[in-house]
A and B are shown apart, each in its own frame.
Chain A
Amino acid sequence: MLTFTFRRLILSIPTLLFISFIIFGLLQLAPGDPMAQVPLTVPPEVKQKMREALGLGAPWYVQYYKWLIQFFWIEPKIFIDYLTNTSFLLGWLPDTSLYNGELRVLSWQTRSPVMDIVMQRMPQTLWVVGLSYVVGIVIAIPIGIYSAYRHYSVFDQAGTFVTMIGFSIPPFFTGPLLIVIFSVYLGWLPSIYDTTHVVTDWESFKVQFFQMIMPVMVLALQTTAQISRYMRGAMLDNLNQDYVRTARAKGLREGVVVLVHVLRNSMIPVVTVIALGMPAIFGGAIITENVFKVNGIGQLLLTALFANDLPMVMTLTFIFAILIVLFNLIADVLYGLLDPRIRYD
C-alpha cells in the first residue's frame, strides 16, 4: 500500500508540471496586453522598460522556468519559515530562515506577493466550502441509505425527485433565489457574507452562523444531490447480495445487517466519489462566492482575470489544479485502503 501511495505521489509530479505548462501556454498565447491600461502619452521606450520590469521581455521558457522556481522552491521556503516562526501549530520548532529576499511571484494589481493574498483569502473559501461539504455529506448519506432500504417507497420517490432537482438547479439560480426569499422578503438572513466579522462571544457567533447558512446551503445542495444518488445506487447494488442473506440467516438484527454489513461495503465507491467531488465543489465556490460576495479565492480569481493580472491568475489556477490532483490521489489511496481486492502491490 505504501509503495502504491508513493508511486502515485511521484506520478502526480509530471501531471502537475504538464498542467502548469498548459496554463502557462494558454496565458502566453493569449493576446491580452498587460500594458493596455497604460495611458497613450507614455512613450513607447518607457513602455518597453515597464514591460521588462514586469518580466515580459524574456523569452517564454525563461519566464516559465522562473515561475516554476518561484512557485516550487521559494514559496515553500517562505511557508516553512512561517510555520516555524509564527504559526500556532509548529511555532515551537526552532526558527528557520530559509528565505533571504529572492523575488517572489508578484501580483501586477497590488505589487505584493501573490501567495500572501491567497493565504489571506484561503480561510474564507475553506470555511464555506469545507463546511458545505460536511453538511452535504451528513445530509446525503442517511437519505441514500433509507431510500435504498425502502426502495420504491414514497420516501424513495420523493428523495430521488428532490435530489434530481438539486442536481439540476445551478447554484447561480439557487443563490439569488434564496437571497430573494430569505433576505428580501423574510429578512431572516443577511445577503452578503461579511468576512471581517470576528467571532468573540455568543452574539457574534450567531451573526456568523446566520451569514454562513445561505452560502453553505447552496453549495451543500449540490453535494447532497450527488452523493445521496451514489449512496442509494451503491446500497441497492449490495442489498441483494448473498452475504446479506447470510447475515440475516445468522439471525443478526436488521440494523446491524444494514448499517454494518451493507453500509460498509457500499461506502467504498461513495468515499471515492466524496474525494473526487471536492475539486468540483471548489469550482462551484467560484460562482457561490460571486453570488454572496464572499472574498475567497474564487472571487480573487475572477477579479484577477478581469484586471489582466497574469501571475495571480496563473498561480490561482494552478492551486485549483493542485487541489484536483491531491484529491484524486486521496481517492485512489482510500479506494485501496477500503477495498483490499484492488490494491495494486
Chain B
Amino acid sequence: MTEQAIPASPVEADIEVFGALTDKEPQKPPRSQWKDVWDQFRKHKGAVFGGGFLIFITLGVIFGPWLWDIDPKTLDIRNKNWRPVYTLLWDDTAKAGWLHPFGTDQLGRDILAQMIAGGRVSMAVGWLAMGLALLIGTAIGVLSGYFKRLDFLLMRFTDLVLSLPILPLTLLAVTLFRQPLNSRFGPEGGMFILIVGIIGLTSWMQTARIVRGDILALKEREFILAARSIGTKSGKIIRRHLLPNVISPIMVSATLGLATAIITESALSFLGVGFPSDYPTWGKLLADAVQRMQDYPERVLLPGIAISLTVLSVNYLGDGLRDALDPRIRGR
C-alpha cells in the first residue's frame, strides 16, 4: 500500500500539482536601482580600489595640514636635502629620520608638507575644472538635444571647439593672461582662476556630445510625452525627467574630466607656465626636482607617483562606474 501525503488544504494541493509555477526560493524584497548599481560596482575590484584611493587622497589633502602641521614654505637651511626615511633601510648613514618622513628639499622645506599642499592645489583644480566642464557640457548638451532650433548651431560650435589645438592654446592663454589676473586676484588666486577656467572651457565637448545623444533618444519616449501632455513646462521636463536620466553618462565623463584636468594642470606646471614658483603643486614639485633627479630621484618619484596613482584610480573608478551604470551589463 502506498502512502500518499495528505494535503492540508485544497489550494496547496493545486500548487503541488502545478509545481512548475511555484517559486523555488522566497521572493526577494524589491530593490532600488542604486542598490543594483552599487552591487555591480562592488564586483569591479579595480573600481572599488580606485574610488577608495580617490576618497583617501581627497580627504588626505583636505585634512592633511592638521595632521602634519609643518608649514610647507618654512625654510630650514640647516636641515636641507634630507632623504626619505626609507633610505635608512639600506643606508644607515643617510641623512633621514621620522622628523621629515619624505625628506626635505634643497632649501630645507619638508617634502611631505609640500606634497600635501601641492595635492590640495592639484585636486582643487581637478575637481573645480571638472565641475565647470560638466556644467557647460551638460548645459550645451541638454539645450542642443532638447531644442531643435539650437541644435545645429550648438553642435557646429562644439565641432569647432573640438578642432582647436587644446594644449598649445592653453599654453598661450596661460602665458598671455597671467599678468592681468595676477594683479587682480594675487599671484596664486589669479593663476588658480585662470587654470581652472581654461581647463573647464576646453574640456566640455565630449560631455556635451554624449548628453545630447542621450537627450535626443529620451525625448521621444512615452514618459516625456505624458509629462508634456499634462502641461509640464520645458524647464520642468528637463529638470525632473531628463536630467535624472542622463546622470550616468555625466558621471562617467566626470571621472574622465577629473583625470584630464589633473594631468593638464600638472603638465602646465611642468612646462613652467603654471603656478608661481614658491606655490607647490604636484606638477611643479616634479618639474623642480628634474634637475636634481640624479642625486635625489625620490623628489621626482613621489609627486609623479601621486599624480599617476590619482589618475589611475580615477580611470578605474570611471571603468567601474560605466559598467555599473549600464543596465545591459548590470545583472549579468
B176 touches A27 (CB 8 A): yes
Q: Does B316 contact A (CB under 8 A)?
A: yes
Q: By the criterion CB–CB under 8 Å, are B172 and A168 in contact?
A: no
A320 to chain B, nearest CB (A): 4
Determine the chain A residues whose CB is within 8 A of the CB of B272 once the complex forms.
306
Q: Which residues of A have CB within 8 Å of B118?
A: none
Which residues of A lie under 8 Å from residue B307 when comparing CB positions? 170, 173
Contact residues of A between 271 and 315, Cβ < 8 Å to B: 279, 283, 286-287, 290-291, 301-302, 305-306, 313
Q: Are A19 and B163 in contact (CB under 8 A)?
A: yes
Identify which of B3-11, B59-67, B204-212, B262-270 touches chain A. B262-270
Chain B residues contacting A27 (CB-CB under 8 Å) are 172, 176
**Chain B, Cβ-Cβ closest to A284:** B167
Task: Report how far A31 CA is from B283 CA in the complex, Å.
Answer: 26
Do residues A184 and B283 form an inter-chain contact, with CB atoms below 8 A?
A: no
Is B271 close to A, CB under 8 A? yes
Provide the bound-state CA to CA distance between A15 and B161, in Å: 9
Among A49-57, A174-182, A237-245, A258-266, the one that faces the other chain is: A174-182
Task: Please report the C-alpha to C-alpha distance between residue A324 and residue B162 in the assembled complex, in whole angstroms.
Answer: 9
When C-beta atoms are compared, the residue in chain B nearest to A14 turns out to be: B160
* Cβ B300 vs Cβ A177 within 8 A: yes
B204 → chain A, closest Cβ, in Å?
Answer: 16
Contact B169 A290 (CB under 8 A): no
Task: Evaluate whether A170 and B263 lie within 8 angstroms (CB atoms) in the complex, with A180-B297, A320-B165, A321-B164 already known.
Answer: yes
In the assembled complex, how far is the CB of residue B191 from the closest CB belonging to chain A, in whole angstroms? 15
The answer, yes or no, to whether A23 is at the interface (CB within 8 Å) is yes
Which interface residue of B168, B259, B319 has the most chain A CB atoms within 10 A?
B168
In the assembled complex, A252 has its CB within 8 A of some CB on chain B: no
Which partner residue on chain B sits nearest A329 by CB separation?
A: B163
Count of CB-CB pairs between chains A and B under 8 Å: 119
Q: Does B70 contact A (CB under 8 A)?
A: no
Residue of A170, A172, A286, A290 near B168 (CB, 8 A) is A286
Residue from the list A15, A18, A164 in contact with B316, Cβ < 8 A: A164
Contacts of A290 in B (CB 8 A): 270-271
CB-CB under 8 A from B46, the residues of chain A are 164
- Most A-side CB within 10 Å, residue of B163, B179, B266: B163
The minimal Cβ–Cβ distance linking A316 to chain B, given in whole angstroms, is 7
CB–CB A283/B176 < 8 A: no
Q: Is A167 in contact with chain B by the CB < 8 A criterion?
A: yes
Task: Knowing A176-B286, A180-B300, A317-B165 are in contact, say whether A26-B176 is a contact too (CB < 8 A).
Answer: yes
- Contact residues on B (Cβ < 8 Å of other chain), bracket: 35 or more
Nearest chain-B residue to A157 (Cβ)?
B46
Q: Within 8 Å of chain A (Cβ to Cβ): is B187?
A: no
Cβ distance A154 to chain B, nearest Cβ, rounded Å: 15
A328 at interface, CB cutoff 8 A:
yes
Q: B166 at the A/B interface (Cβ < 8 Å)?
A: yes
- Tell me the chain B residues, 262-321 only, with Cβ under 8 Å from chain A: 263, 266-267, 270-273, 283, 286-287, 290, 293-294, 297, 300-301, 304, 307-308, 311-312, 315-316, 319
Tell which of A26, A168, A286, A320 touches B315, judged by Cβ atoms closer than 8 Å: A168
**Complex interface bits, B246-261 against A, C-beta within 8 A gives 1, otherwise 0:** 0000000000000100
A-B contact sample (19 more), CB < 8 A, given A173-B307, A321-B164: A15-B160, A19-B164, A23-B172, A26-B173, A31-B179, A170-B308, A170-B311, A172-B266, A172-B286, A176-B293, A176-B304, A177-B300, A287-B270, A305-B175, A305-B273, A321-B163, A324-B163, A325-B163, A328-B163
Provide 23 A-B residue pairs closer than 8 Å at the C-beta atoms, listed in order of the A residue: A15-B163, A18-B160, A26-B173, A31-B177, A31-B179, A164-B315, A165-B312, A169-B312, A170-B308, A172-B267, A176-B300, A177-B301, A179-B293, A180-B297, A184-B294, A283-B166, A283-B167, A286-B168, A305-B171, A305-B172, A316-B168, A320-B165, A324-B165
Point out residues on B near A: beta carbons under 8 Å: 46, 159-160, 163-169, 171-173, 175-177, 179-180, 259, 263, 266-267, 270-273, 283, 286-287, 290, 293-294, 297, 300-301, 304, 307-308, 311-312, 315-316, 319
Leading 3 A-B pairs by shortest Cβ distance? A30-B176, A320-B165, A173-B304
